[in-house]
């Protein structure tokens, strides 16, 4: 649970008034990389003995895995009874991103749950034939998630691109609140982070190692160079532009018009999530916990074989089987490259096949199973 130790050290730095971005912990000399607001949230980790803290993270992440499954089913319209949810949770724990999140004591599952819960919130109908309306403050939790780890900020762009302007502005307000709170409580650390540390990508880790399942990691290993430069930034920009264009086009479809005040579209949410993982300079394998809602979507759409294949890929751990000590990650032969980068290759393959909304794939416009309209009631 190396990351849990980092979180604990961040909390101790806040509590003692130490240098939040000047320490390293564990044998891997890991530094703090999150915004100051996150460090404020980590202060309670200092209140427990280390064994109790690790147990808390273990049990908490296991419970969050079950919650993520529940939220994924709600997003995609699947209905799981309690025994089936427990069985699915037991299986999901073996998915490599979920397993690694637990092993490292990470917060990926918590952030994914926070985002899905917020995006899918609606108010109950006041009358049987009225539309559901968005819950008050919808989008704020997305902004808070972005204030904790930055990468969820892409979901703010998702909300703007899909025409959910009120939710997007609320999310921006949530993000701004975290920045302001961090600046008020930790002014020095905030100035240090937002003017310097936020730009130090190398501080997070080496982009070319097999742990990094982003486009940059894939291209660095394929080109055998630690810094692929334009060879990475141009494909990343093209990927982001293609995803943005797809989301913009959905605003003009009957799906978007009918679902303006309903739970989120699972295709758009997952397209935003996987785009984030692809274009981020570093997306550690444990960041890919979005494989859980992806699998739920495949099952909900009646693609059991594809779902099984995707589950196998996220369980196989192929990149951990390759030589990756020292700089061996940069010397992999061509036939090992797919084994070294299974997650970004899968995301690129599924983007056009599955994640584009049905109208953009040539299918008949249909509301997501989890959506509601004036004429469609659950």
> Residue 366's pLDDT is what?
45
Residues in the chain, overall count: 378
For the chain, how long is the longest CA-to-CA vector? 64
The token pair at 116 is 């899905």
147 close to 175: Cβ distance less than 8 angstroms? yes
Alpha helices in the chain (DSSP H): 2-16, 36-41, 50-76, 82-92, 96-104, 108-119, 140-149, 154-161, 165-185, 187-195, 215-223, 230-250, 254-258, 266-279, 291-300, 304-316, 337-340, 342-350
Q: 219 vs 58, 60, 199, 272, 360, CA distance in Å?
A: 34, 35, 21, 21, 28
- CB count in 10 Å sphere of residue 18: 13
Task: Classify residue 70 by burial, with Cβ atoms within 10 Å: 0-12, 13-18, 19+.
Answer: buried
Token pair 């334009």 in the structure block, residue: 230
Helix 230-250 and helix 215-223, axial crossing angle in degrees, nearest 10: 150
Rounded Cα distance, 214 and 347, in Å = 10
Helix (H/G/I), strand (E/B), else coil: 276: helix
Distance of alpha carbon 3 from the chain centroid: 17
Measured at the alpha carbon of residue 92, what is the angle toward residues 88 and 93, in degrees to the nearest 5?
A: 125
Rounded Cα distance, 329 and 324, in Å = 5
Task: Classify residue 375 by burial, with Cβ atoms within 10 Å: 0-12, 13-18, 19+.
Answer: exposed
109 close to 103: Cβ distance less than 8 angstroms? no
> Residue 323's pLDDT is what?
85
Residue 30: phi and psi, rounded to 5, are -85, 130
Rounded Cα distance, 279 and 272, in Å = 11
> Residue 278's pLDDT is what?
95
pLDDT digits over 13-49, tens only? 999 988 899 888 888 889 989 999 999 999 999 999 9
> Residue 109's pLDDT is what?
97
Low-confidence ranges of the chain (pLDDT < 50): 125-127, 129-130, 254-261, 363-378
Rounded Cα distance, 206 and 19, in Å = 23
Mean pLDDT value across the chain:
86
Helix (H/G/I), strand (E/B), else coil: 17: coil
CB half-sphere exposure, 183, CA atoms < 13 A: 10
> Residue 121's pLDDT is what?
84
- CB count in 10 Å sphere of residue 59: 11
The pTM for the full model equals 0.88
71 close to 78: Cβ distance less than 8 angstroms? no
Question: DSSP state, 270?
Answer: H
> Residue 22's pLDDT is what?
87
Closest CA to 138 of 157, 162, 161, 156: 156
- Enumerate the β-bridge partners of residue 25: 30
């Amino acid at each position: 649970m190396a990351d849990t130790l980092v979180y604990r050290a961040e909390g101790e730095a806040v509590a003692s008034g130490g240098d939040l971005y000047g320490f390293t912990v564990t044998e891997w000399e890991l530094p703090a990389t999150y915004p100051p607001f996150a460090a404020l949230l980590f202060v309670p980790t200092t209140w427990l003995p280390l064994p109790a803290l690790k147990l808390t993270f273990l049990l908490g992440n296991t419970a969050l895995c079950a919650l993520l499954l529940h939220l994924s089913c709600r997003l995609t319209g699947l209905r799981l009874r309690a025994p089936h949810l427990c069985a699915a949770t037991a299986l999901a724990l073996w998915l490599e991103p979920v397993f690694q999140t637990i092993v490292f004591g990470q917060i990926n599952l918590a952030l994914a749950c926070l985002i899905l819960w917020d995006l899918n919130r609606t108010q109950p109908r006041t009358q049987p034939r009225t539309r559901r309306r968005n819950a008050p403050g919808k989008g704020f939790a997305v902004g808070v998630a972005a204030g904790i780890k930055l990468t969820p900020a892409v979901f703010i762009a998702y909300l703007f691109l899909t025409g959910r302007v009120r939710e997007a502005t609320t999310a921006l307000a949530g993000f701004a609140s975290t920045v302001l709170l961090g600046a008020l409580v930790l002014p020095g650390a905030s100035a240090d982070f937002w003017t310097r540390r936020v730009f130090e990508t190398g501080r997070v880790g080496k982009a070319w190692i097999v742990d990094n399942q982003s486009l940059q990691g894939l291209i660095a290993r394929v080109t055998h160079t630690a810094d692929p430069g334009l060879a990475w930034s141009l494909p990343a920009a093209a990927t982001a532009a293609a995803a943005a264009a797809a989301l913009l086009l959905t605003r003009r479809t009957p799906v978007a018009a009918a679902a303006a005040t309903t739970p989120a579209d699972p295709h758009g949410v997952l397209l935003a999530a996987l785009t984030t993982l692809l274009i981020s300079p570093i997306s550690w394998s444990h960041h890919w916990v979005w494989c859980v809602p992806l699998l739920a979507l495949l099952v909900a759409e009646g693609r059991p074989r594809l779902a099984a294949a995707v589950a196998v890929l996220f369980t196989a751990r192929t990149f951990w089987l390759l030589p990756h000590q020292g700089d061996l990650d940069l010397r992999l032969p061509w036939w090992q490259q797919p084994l070294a980068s299974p997650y970004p290759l899968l995301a690129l393959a599924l983007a056009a096949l599955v994640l584009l909304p049905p109208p953009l794939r040539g299918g008949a416009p249909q509301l997501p199973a989890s959506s509601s309209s004036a004429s469609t009631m659950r």
